[in-house]
Structure formats: structure tokens, C-alpha cells
Amino acid sequence: MEENQYDVIIVGTGPAGSTAALYGQRLGLNTVVFGDTPGGITYMIENIMNFPGFLGGVPGTEFGVKLFQQAQTEGALFTMSRLKELNHHENAFTGTDDNGLMYTATCAIIASGRVPKRLPVAHSEMKGINFCSVCDGPLFRGKNATLAVVGSDNAAGQHAMTLSRIADKVFLICRSQTLKMDAVHQQLIAAQDNIEILNGTEVTGYKGLDLVEALNVKTNEDETSEIPVDGVFLAIGWTPNTKMLAMSVDQNSGGYLQTDDKLMTSIPGLFAAGDVRDTDLWQVLTACADGARAVKNVADHIIAIKS
Ligand SMILES: Cc1cc2nc3c(=O)[nH]c(=O)nc-3n(C[C@H](O)[C@H](O)[C@H](O)COP(=O)(O)OP(=O)(O)OC[C@H]3O[C@@H](n4cnc5c(N)ncnc54)[C@H](O)[C@@H]3O)c2cc1C
């Protein structure tokens, strides 16, 4: 086993982890970064239209890879391996990657993002299945589209509201008999003529060749039918990537890492940034900002414990 000593271990090569690496190196921290996907999930974004400074947008892959390369140029070590396990002993963090190599650091930043939950049905990765109405909804603008949102909470309500301004018709498909969103969202939705709520309805399959063309649904009364759609937006939840943590860290009920105003978790020296964090906006911009703030606070933490 090889052992290497660093100031900070960063888990994740998405916007949060790459920005943390970029800022960390420039702050003089000896930085090691784990992850095998330059840019994280930005590759899933056809065009990032809402990142300030990019008039007309920037393809997610281009943005993610350039940010990754920028951090590499500053000298951070990117292992290109995934972190299998992160341990905490006597004020130090030890990471073991999937090659069995060990790295030790004074601090660590978890920037490992989250993965969207998909429906447990056949062809669940078909084209036309989306997760972000703010990002991907505009693709349907001017196309007289019929869209479906699957889910029943506030997030589903927000997707339905956003899409109702873009599409001709939006089905809000909710497995339970009642919506789980708050009264304000319910009132907003009720006021939109082009949103139709299908309570007590479960999506049982996707229909289409390459692109989703219709949803197979089943009601609580076991009646089945088919709903033609141009696109689907899933709001059935996300799973934060925290399995590598071999320690108990405070998380909210959804598994997101809870942090203080310095982005430090319940473990001193362990920080969280980006989509894996218990926050209120999961975007590229906020992930980058988190990465910069987290590593600045790592630098301050290291100075504080050494003085
Ligand atoms: C379809 C889609 C469209 C979107 N569109 C937009 C948009 O238009 N505008 C916008 O601002 N945002 C958009 N987003 C959201 C945006 O992509 C995220 O908010 C952003 O990527 C979060 O950055 P992050 O670094 O926190 O996480 P991520 O980008 O998810 O990066 C985390 C990385 O860490 C990796 N990782 C996980 N576990 C480990 C481990 N154990 N070891 C090493 N690496 C690990 C993951 O595999 C991933 O590569 C979109 C998201 C999706 C899914």
C-alpha cells in the first residue's frame, strides 16, 4: 500500500469538486481529487443556458471538461479513480481509492453530487426522460408540446408550473391519491388551465422506439391506459452520493449532508459542497460557489488548528 499526505482530499470532479481543486491549489493547498468523470454530471446538460457570462449558453460537456482542465493546470492531483472509502482517525482523513491506494489529508471535501431516481420500469433510460425543467423545459418551447411530470411534492409542482408556461399541456402524474405539495403550490397549479392532475395514477412503462412517445399508466382501480407525450420530467427524488463515508455524518431525511455556514459537516475538518449538500438550489453556479467557499474554509480551518 502506498500512502500520500495532502492538505485536502476532494471527492468528485464535477463543478463543486473541480472548483474546490482550482481554488485550493491557488490558495497553496496540496490537493488530491478523486473522480473518474471530468465535469461530473454536466455532461448530461445539452446546453447550460443559465450560467452567468455565457450568452447563448455553453454545452455542459465543454464547460465541465474546461473547468476540470483549469484545475489540472493549477497543479491539483487528479487520481482519475473513485474513492471507495473515507475514514477519520485522530484529526486526519484517510481515503482508499478503487485501486487500493491510500491518501491521507488534514481535511476533506465531499463534492460527490447526487443521482436522480428513475422509475423502476423497462427502458428507463430512454431519450425524452428529463430531470430538470428549468434546464431542459425550454427545449420544448414553441413545439405545442404535451409533457408529463411524474411526482407529487413541491419539486414536481415547480416543474409543472415551469413547463405550463412552455408546453400546450402538462400532465401531473401522482401515484398517491393526494398531492404532497404545500397549499401555495396546489393553488398555483389549480390556477393553470393547461395542467391536468392525474391522482392515484402510476407510470408502468414507457412507449416509443428511441424517444419516449407515450406513458403506460395504471390507476388505483387497476384501469390501464396510454398517455401520448413529447417528454417526461421525473421528480421522484434524488439519491446523494455518500456511500464512501465510513463514518457517521449528520444528514437530513433525504440523505443530504448537513453543513454549518462554513460548509463544514458535523465532523470537524470534513466539508461538503454542491449537490450532495443539504441546500435549496442544485445548480452548476451554486456548486461552483460551494466548492470555492468550502476550500477557502478548509484553508482557514488548517491555519486555526495549526496555531
Ligand atoms: C439533466 C440535467 C440537466 C441539468 N441542467 C442544468 C442547467 O441547465 N443549469 C444548471 O445550472 N444546472 C443544471 N443541472 C444541475 C447540475 O448539473 C448540478 O447542479 C451540478 O453538476 C452539481 O455539481 P456537483 O459538482 O455538486 O455534482 P456532480 O456534477 O454530480 O459531480 C459529482 C461527481 O462526483 C462523482 N462521485 C460520486 N461518488 C464518488 C466517489 N466515491 N469517488 C469519486 N467520485 C465520485 C460523481 O460520479 C460525479 O461525477 C442539470 C442536471 C441534470 C441531471
Q: What is the pLDDT of residue 1?
A: 38
CA of 277 from ligand 1 middle (Å) equals 12
Boundary of a domain, candidates 234, 268, 290: 234
Residues 141 and 203 in one domain: yes
Residues 10 and 55 in one domain: yes
Q: What is the pLDDT of residue 116?
A: 84
Residues 149 and 185 in one domain: yes
CA of 168 from ligand 1 middle (Å) equals 30
The stretch 170-177 carries a mean pLDDT of 96
Q: What is the CATH number of the domain that holds 228?
A: 3.50.50.60
What ranges in the chain are assigned the alpha helix state H? 15-26, 60-73, 133-136, 154-164, 183-190, 284-306
Q: Are strands 102-110 and 270-272 parallel, antiparallel or unpaired?
A: parallel
Sheet strands side by side (includes 214-219): 201-207, 214-219, 224-228
Residues 141 and 206 in one domain: yes
pLDDT in tens, 27-75: 999 999 999 999 999 887 777 888 999 999 999 999 999 999 999 999 9
Domain boundaries, position 40: 3-115+238-306
CA of 112 from ligand 1 middle (Å) equals 8
Q: Determine, yes or no, domain membership for 68.
A: yes
Residues 18 and 84 in one domain: yes
CA of 40 from ligand 1 middle (Å) equals 5
Q: Which residues, including other chains, have CB under 8 Å from residue 233's CB and lie 6 or more apart?
A: 130, 131, 132, 133, 136, 137, 147, 148, 149, 150, 159, 163
Rounded to an integer, what distance in angstroms lies between the CA atom of residue 305 and that of residue 291? 21
Residues 97 and 9 in one domain: yes
Confidence check: pLDDT of 275 > 60 = yes
Boundary of a domain, candidates 234, 268, 298: 234
Q: Determine, yes or no, domain membership for 123.
A: no
Mutate-to-test residue for ligand 1 from 10, 19, 45, 162, highest number of ligand atoms within 8 A of CB:
45
Predicted confidence band of residue 3 (pLDDT cuts 50, 70, 90): low
Confidence check: pLDDT of 76 > 60 = yes
Residues 209 and 269 in one domain: no
Between 37-41, 155-159, 165-169, 241-245, the lowest mean confidence (pLDDT) is in 155-159
Ligand 1 atom closest to residue 50's alpha carbon, by position in its atom list: 9
Q: What is the pLDDT of residue 119?
A: 95
Ligand 1 first shell, C-beta below 6 A: 11-17, 34-35, 37, 40-42, 44-45, 48-50, 82-83, 111-113, 116, 131-132, 135-136, 241, 244, 274-275, 282-285, 287
Boundary of a domain, candidates 234, 255, 286: 234
Q: Determine, yes or no, domain membership for 187.
A: yes
pLDDT in tens, 119-150: 999 999 899 999 888 789 999 999 999 999 99
pLDDT in tens, 96-127: 999 999 999 999 999 999 988 999 999 998 99
Confidence check: pLDDT of 279 > 90 = yes
Q: Determine, yes or no, domain membership for 124.
A: no
Residues 167 and 75 in one domain: no
Mutate-to-test residue for ligand 1 from 50, 65, 283, 295, highest number of ligand atoms within 8 A of CB:
283
Residues 60 and 84 in one domain: yes
Give the residues across from 78 on adjacent strands: 33
Overall number of domains in the chain = 2
Residue 17 is placed in which grid cell?
A: 469538486
Q: What is the mean pLDDT of the chain?
A: 94
Residues 111 and 149 in one domain: no
Q: Determine, yes or no, domain membership for 163.
A: yes
Q: Determine, yes or no, domain membership for 120.
A: no
Ligand 1 atom closest to residue 290's alpha carbon, by position in its atom list: 26
Residues 107 and 248 in one domain: yes
Nearest to 194 by CA among 154, 140, 250, 263: 140
Q: Determine, yes or no, domain membership for 121.
A: no
Predicted confidence band of residue 193 (pLDDT cuts 50, 70, 90): very high
CA of 92 from ligand 1 middle (Å) equals 27
Q: Determine, yes or no, domain membership for 144.
A: yes
Residue 292 is placed in which grid cell?
A: 470555492
Residues 67 and 216 in one domain: no
